[in-house]
Chains A and B, each alone.
Chain A
Amino acid sequence: MKTSLRSKPKPNSPVKRSSLYRGEEPTKMKRQLTITTEPIDEGGLLGMRSMSGGMGAAVYFAGVVRATEENRSIKAIEYEAYGRMAEHQFHLLFDEMEKRWPIESVRLVHRIGAVKVGEPSLWVEVITPHRGESFAACQWLIDEMKRVVPIWKKILA
């Protein structure tokens, strides 16, 4: 892969009208990436979960906008993405996950635009045979996302 996940930066078929990207790539690991201005429907996502008989672990994570940032009350966070590059970088991360862990499925939704306090801005689910792999892969994906995927936030006080 051209981009080294460790050495580089230091630091489609639309379903919803406002989705910037929603799609899967034909690989062994099922992957679904959604970058959208729409609120994240956690209940709907859980309802669409699909696991084969050999899978025993589904870990999901929701990142929610806190009411304070740096000890100041806030109203919301506005997320901005470089959409085309964000999509590409997410898929590089998914490629790497597929090499590292026996993952059946990964689903990730990142909201952009203004997200109010208490609302989720990120939702990730990883399905594997055992819990250790799911926890490790989910945490790795979020850590790497925060390092390489071009999404920024602006506090709305």
Chain B
Amino acid sequence: MRVTITFFSYFKELTGCAQASETLPSGSTLGDLQKQLAVRFPRLAAMQNSTLIAVGVEYQGRGYLLKEGDEVSLFPPVQGG
């Protein structure tokens, strides 16, 4: 299963890219993806507890079951206004 990941705000600097893709076994969760990303992008690992995750335009928790083609977004706490 392949998913795409988009990084926002300073997560782009931490990862050195705005987008990435990952391949995971079926049945994987967002938590599994986050662990995989932490290995690939060690500077992101330190931010794990404050990272917000969305799939499409909805926030999702670490237990969300990923599907083929999901568009995942990772970003730090929001700061509008």
Which residues of A does B touch, CB under 8 Å? 2-3, 8-11, 63, 79-82, 84-89, 110, 121-122, 142, 145-154
Contacts and interface: CB of A to CB of B under 8 A. Distances in A.
Contacts, number: 73
A86 B73 CA distance: 13
B69 interface: no
Interface residues of B, number: 19
A146 B79 contact: yes
Query: Which has the most chain B C-beta neighbours within 10 Å: A79, A82, A110, A153?
Result: A82
B81 A84 contact: no
Contacts of A145: 80-81
22 contacts: A9-B52, A9-B78, A10-B50, A11-B50, A11-B52, A11-B77, A79-B80, A80-B9, A82-B73, A85-B54, A87-B57, A88-B57, A88-B58, A110-B81, A149-B78, A150-B8, A150-B54, A152-B76, A152-B78, A153-B79, A153-B80, A154-B10
Nearest to A143: B81
B58 A150 contact: no
Nearest to B75: A150
Given A8-B59, A85-B54, A85-B73, A122 B81 contact: yes
Interface string B43-81: 000000010101011110000000000000101111111
Interface of B: 6, 8-10, 50, 52, 54, 56-59, 73, 75-81
